[in-house]
Amino acid sequence: MAERFDVVVVGAGNAAFCAALSARESGCSVLVLERAPEPENGGNSRFTAGGFRFVYDGVDDLNRLMPDLTESEIANTDFGSYTQDQFFDDMFRVTSYRTDPQLCEQLVTRSRDTMLWLASKGVRFVPMFGRQAFKVDGKFKFWGGVTVESWGGGPGLVDQETAAARKAGIVIRYQARVTSLIYSGAAVTGVRVKGRDGISEIHAGSVVLACGGFESNSEWRTRYLGAGWELAKVRGTRFNTGDGIRMAFEVGASSHGHWSGCHAVGWDNNAPEFGDLDVGDLFQKHSYQFGIMVNANGRRFVDEGADIRNYTYAKYGRVILSQPDQFAWQVFDKKVLHLLRDEYRIKRVTKVTANTLEELAGKLEGVNKQAFLDEVKSFNAAVQTRIPFDGTVKDGRGTVGLPLPKSNWANTIDEPPFEAYQVGCGITFTFGGVRVNAESAQVVDTDLEPIPGLYAAGEIVGGFFYFNYPSGTGLTTGAVMGRIAGASAAKATGRAASPAKALAS
């Protein structure tokens, strides 16, 4: 006899657990099904740094979220604020004004309340000092709109959400791959699951798909993102192969979003095919704005200082992939080495050092040596050194007279020792997915009618991001839409009065 739960959630990352916890608040029986084995659980959420972008008005808001902030931390830190207007502006500007306005409104206006809700479930947050703050005149100053991370980063977030789910009585099963939805033609009424003992059916009042995009499917990457994308490395889980999207399409779901777009970054060129949980996100190399990047021809190919790193890093992976032989070298000199993020100091890194530029040029594998030296000479001559350097803002310290300018944070590369790091393209997640109703997170069909019993949250949902991505938005999107999806799924079972009531609890 088939099992039955009020709500079945497919996936076990941040969006999935937010959906499960939200549905459970209404008294629903909830089952979470995770394709991965338990040691690899958590989807892409486990591979993140745990950063969240959300609206806050100042330190008082942050203190509500992080009641263990010390007096010293408060006194010695400029936390600033991040308003709704700033969040809206970043989302629209970074996505070339294509983000779905209804989805974006849910993300922005519910971000603060959702963070407090997560904290009420036992998720602990801390200031993101290590990645998002510089010391200015002896005081830490945050920049870029991302101030807070989950304690323990991505792994800590998943572990805390897993513990909260178990405490709430939610059932979690690992190595349980959902292969299809049970669909009557009128409603989704459950799932088929491939487990260790074969295929079984689980019936449900509602199903929430929160099992990621298709970045780990090299064939789909090439089909939708374009030629060459099979050569990219996958930053996160190997299990995001598009199963949830395929299942939704099989019951008539509408597609939405930027199907040829993705989040992709500069990633160590010798990283493994998929993410490594022992390293996490530390194969990334995100201090490029303080140096230059050159390709195999020895030439710069991108404005490294076009904007604050939070607003450029997710699109530069695509640019690197388009270079000859799909790699680049990031080059720095002594003046900025102290600014390089912790990920540059790990043991598994493709790095060369030298005491002269000529020696460095000889060590840059695959690079035209003389062209590189000529490029550095031209770059150094173009730097506006009279403008003060300030890594916390767009400082206007750029170059003049170059065919490809560097707009901010330009420093001459002339003081040894020199360091260079080889990077390729690391894909994080895909932007195309299923279409949902923004108010309820219910999946809609190709006639734009809701599919009864089917909801979605997280990276599987298309329409949020186009061309680019503001850092820290993915986890917030998953949390906001997961919470909405869980409340809506509970309402559909008759166990909740309304999504609004559940969201307020």
- CA dist 490 and 485 (Å) reads 8
Contact predicate 118/479, CB 8 Å: yes
The residues that bridge with 434 in the sheet, in sequence order, are: 255, 461
pLDDT greater than 50 at residue 503: no
377 contacts: CB under 8 Å, gap ≥ 6: none
Q: pLDDT category, 136, cuts 50, 70, 90?
A: confident
pLDDT of residue 420: 98
pLDDT greater than 90 at residue 392: no
Q: pLDDT category, 143, cuts 50, 70, 90?
A: confident
Structural domains of the chain sorted by starting position, each given as residue range(s) with its CATH number in brackets: 3-261+431-504 (3.50.50.60), 262-426 (3.90.700.10)
* 3-class state of residue 142 by DSSP: strand
Residue 56 tokens read as 């806050």
Query: Looking at residues 416-439, what average pLDDT do you find?
Result: 98
Q: Considering the chain, what is the average pLDDT of its residues?
A: 95
pLDDT greater than 60 at residue 340: yes
Q: pLDDT category, 496, cuts 50, 70, 90?
A: low
pLDDT greater than 80 at residue 51: yes
The model carries a pTM of: 0.94
pLDDT of residue 130: 76
pLDDT greater than 50 at residue 102: yes
Nearest 5°: CA angle at 90, between 84 and 91?
A: 90
pLDDT of residue 254: 98
Strand order in the sheet with 51-53: 51-53, 146-150, 125-127
Taking the CA atoms of the chain, what radius of gyration do you get in angstroms?
A: 23
The closest of 188, 340, 159 to 266, measured between CA atoms, is: 340
Q: Over the stretch 291-332, which tens digit does the pLDDT of each residue have?
A: 999 999 999 999 999 999 999 999 999 999 999 999 999 999
Q: pLDDT category, 2, cuts 50, 70, 90?
A: confident
Query: Looking at residues 67-82, what average pLDDT do you find?
Result: 92
The closest of 485, 439, 440 to 102, measured between CA atoms, is: 439
Q: pLDDT category, 498, cuts 50, 70, 90?
A: very low
Contact predicate 431/259, CB 8 Å: yes
3-state secondary structure 300-330: ECCCCCCCCHHHCHHHHHHHHHCCHHHCEEE
- CA dist 307 and 329 (Å) reads 20
pLDDT greater than 70 at residue 499: no
